[in-house]
């Protein structure tokens, strides 16, 4: 069973050299502030191998995925953006999930997308590095239920868990975090591919 996580921190924005700024990436196509568009769903993922983790002993994250979606609002022509994510850590077989809403200034394609985690859990920024990858930037992070002060030990973010390069992947890889059963069925059948 997946557990909900919360991020508790103010998160700095990190600008990285080589990030896309032309406003023509798939991430921009999703966050184009139009109710329709060529992209409605994107899945990004990263698995860190043993060699990477050995060279980054203060990185506790072994796997991360983030799914972004543009959804129809209640009023005709309205829409909003959401995300669902999952992270795994060293020495833990448990996958922790998190979700919330995202936004970006409509007049600034190529700028970071700001995402807030549900239940006052903090947030993160995502910026396109190129058309097929994003950089996710977190800050100080705390896992767990805000009502529970029990430390998670090695099952949490460490000092080298602040910037992550994720690669776009098939939407099927994000099925574990998508909670819309109709959408999951359409993705599984290949009806929805973006």
**Domain-located, residue 160:** yes
Closest CA to 115 of 106, 103, 105, 127: 103
**Domain-located, residue 83:** yes
Mean pLDDT of 77-88: 86
User: Are 136 and 124 within 8 A, CB to CB?
Assistant: yes
3-state secondary structure of 30: helix
**Domain-located, residue 112:** yes
User: Are 123 and 117 within 8 A, CB to CB?
Assistant: yes
pLDDT at 8 over 60: no
Q: Which domain holds residue 137?
A: 3-188
Greatest alpha-carbon pair distance for the chain in Å reads 52
pLDDT one-digit tens code per residue, 15-73: 333 344 445 687 877 877 666 666 688 999 999 999 999 999 988 899 999 999 888 87
**Domain-located, residue 193:** no
Dihedrals phi, psi of 186, to nearest 5 degrees:
-65, -40
Tell me, rounded to whole angstroms, the distance of Cα 93 from its chain centroid.
20
**Domain-located, residue 37:** yes
pLDDT at 5 over 50: no
* pLDDT value at residue 67: 92
163-169 and 96-103: which strand pairing?
Answer: unpaired
Residue written as tokens 């796997």?
A: 63
User: Are 64 and 86 within 8 A, CB to CB?
Assistant: yes
> Which has more confidence, 105 or 115?
115
> Which has more confidence, 68 or 11?
68
The total number of structural domains in the chain stands at 1
**Domain-located, residue 194:** no
**Domain-located, residue 158:** yes
User: Are 161 and 141 within 8 A, CB to CB?
Assistant: yes
**Domain-located, residue 127:** yes
d(C-alpha 100, C-alpha 180), whole Å: 14
Tokens of 23: 């406003």
Q: What is the DSSP string of 76-96?
A: TT-EEEEEEEEEEETT--PPE
């Amino acid at each position: 069973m997946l557990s909900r996580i919360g991020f508790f921190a103010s998160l700095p924005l990190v600008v990285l050299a080589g990030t896309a700024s032309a406003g023509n990436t798939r991430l921009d196509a999703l966050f184009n502030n139009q109710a329709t568009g060529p992209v409605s769903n994107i899945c990004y993922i990263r698995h860190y191998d043993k060699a990477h983790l050995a060279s980054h002993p203060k990185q506790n994250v072994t796997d991360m995925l983030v799914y972004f979606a543009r959804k129809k609002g209640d009023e005709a022509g309205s829409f909003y953006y959401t995300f669902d994510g999952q992270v795994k850590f060293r020495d833990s077989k448990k996958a922790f999930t998190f979700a919330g809403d995202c936004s970006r200034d409509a007049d600034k394609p190529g700028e970071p997308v700001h995402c807030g985690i549900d239940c006052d859990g903090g947030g993160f920024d995502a910026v396109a590095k190129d058309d097929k990858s994003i950089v996710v930037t977190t800050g100080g992070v705390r896992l767990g239920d805000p009502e529970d002060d029990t430390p998670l030990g090695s099952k949490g973010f460490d000092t080298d868990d602040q910037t992550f390069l994720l690669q776009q992947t098939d939407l099927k890889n994000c099925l574990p975090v998508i909670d819309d059963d109709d959408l999951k069925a359409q993705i599984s059948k290949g009806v929805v591919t973006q």
